[in-house]
Chain A
Amino acid sequence: MEAKLSIIVSFILGLALGYLLLLSGIWYLVILGGAIVGLLISGRWLHQFLTLFVAGVASTLIYTYPLFRDGLPKLMYVVGVIAGINGNILLLLMMVISGAMSGAGGLIGSSIREAVRGRGRTTHIVGGHEPEAHT
């Protein structure tokens, strides 16, 4: 139950931070968003990575949702034709890169948290699951 809660909170926080940081225009900041969540929320590293990956993808989807209505797929098709890449692959790449940045940030954040606090001495803000010790 606590693990589920940890995943949900990580996802919501990752999504919100991802979206806000996308607004800055500096895409790389999504890494920071993931790292912050990773630092704050404990959880299994794989869960953390996957959750924040999905949060990164979701924040980008939400961010670009109005653009989808405006004709983003057609535009990406055109850009893809010029660039020599399928437009859907370009869209997919955009999502994957967002997810990878967010997930990698989460991985870094949680690793730093663990390294700093030491094994078994983590203060759980949410959750309370002992992560890698049981894996």
Chain B
Amino acid sequence: MTLHKAVHRKLDIVNGRVDMSHGAGGRAMGQLIADIFHAALDNPLLRQANDQAAFDVPGGRMAMTTDGYVVWPLFFPGGDIGSLSVHGTINDLAMAGAKPLYLSASFIIEEGFPLADLERIARSMGEASRRAGVPVVTGDTKVVERGKADGVFISTAGVGLIPPGLNLSGDLARPGDVVLVSGTIGDHGVAVMSKRDNLEFETEILSDSAALHELTAAMVVAADGGLKLMRDPTRGGLAATLNEIAHQSKVGVRIKEAAIPIRPQVAAACELLGLDPLNVANEGKLVAVVEQGKAQAVLDTMKAHPLGGDAAIIGEIIADDHHFVQMVTVFGGGRMVDWLAGEQLPRIC
């Protein structure tokens, strides 16, 4: 009697869909993980295929972060939920001045999700991860019933190493410090909104989603001890970030509207939609607060880096018991920059 060799049917990535068996922990799930995730994210630690990745830790202070990614639509000009989940978590580490070491990724997939889309997302993550030099070393997959997830939700966590002696924190801004931004604002939010229902229009605006760790490393060196904090203005935009800093450091912030870099098309898109670019999300930009004496050196370093070409000094930290963020408008008048109450809804009025 001969034992028939089991036919290994490849995943039908072209037409296939995720079903509940892919989350059940059995052979189907193993195949999904191998054919899609391991194929795209491949690296030595991941290849071990254990429930955890084990690695030596160089001595020192570590940073750890996690984020969930629920962006809709999943694919947008300049990126997708996959590359976003890699860049975003790397950036949270980079804002502490940390060198990102490893990422983990957990996927919650909706029953019926096309395998072609899942593969596209995994590939995008793999590319982002390789370009940044930060591998995804462990992961998890779950499948939920139709309607219980928007296609796919991704959660990534990351660990990194903080250089000895570096202590950046949101409560370290002091009057006299300079506020810098690394480039144009509003790109990501507008790129995403341009794809959504009811707000569709053709633009050339691409999401700025990018990994900032090499830029931040250069900035730390150039600041030579004068760097107080860095933060990436994601949800809530520049307005939210500046207000957070003001409240944490118990100071005021004064910025100049004319100094804030913004692409004309992004400004135009915001006008059309009745949005304030200060409230629109960014995924490849950072705000830095630097001691006055070191600000120019940091700015020069930023501008010399491909991700900081449009960097600019936009304002300063001032003493203010109310912790307001004030802006001198292009018109010469003054206004406050508040953080948003709830979700930003486009104005018609």
B and A form one assembly: no
Contacts from A to B (Cβ < 8 Å):
none
